[in-house]
Amino acid sequence: MLLGKYQTIEKYPLVLCGARYVPCMIYSPGDGRHVAGELYEVDDDCLNRIDALEQIQDPDGYRRLVIRVSPIGRVNQDIKEALAYFMLPEQVADRRSNDLKTYGPNEAKKYTLRKEKQLTPD
């Protein structure tokens, strides 16, 4: 369920990375910008599916961390704790953008899907 549009209380770098222009929020509190996005309430099953998508179990996957957010336009008011997916600074080598405030349609146009592995019959 969509709770609304929120922004991070702390500043973080949000950049596009790699040849596929993958959006990546980097866990470097105090750097970057107040990142804006949508806040959702999800159940455990949905959270588990997002964790799998973000590959949090892999060494090079995202890390799920608790952050604080407030509604856009009401900075530092109605603060909530939220889960966010980050890359650690040492995981990010190929930045393709400056710090972004949000990941919107213009940034999404640059994204390319991962090529699926082709299975060959034995």
Alpha-carbon gap, residue 94 to 60, rounded angstroms: 14
Among 41, 54, 81, 116, which one carries the catalytic annotation?
Answer: 54
Q: Minimal CA–CA distance to 15: which of 95, 113, 85?
A: 95
Alpha-carbon gap, residue 99 to 12, rounded angstroms: 9
Query: Strand, coil or helix: what is 31?
Result: coil
What separation in angstroms does the CA of 107 have from each of 30, 45, 51, 78, 98? 23, 29, 23, 29, 11
54 included as an active-site residue: yes
Catalytic residues: 54
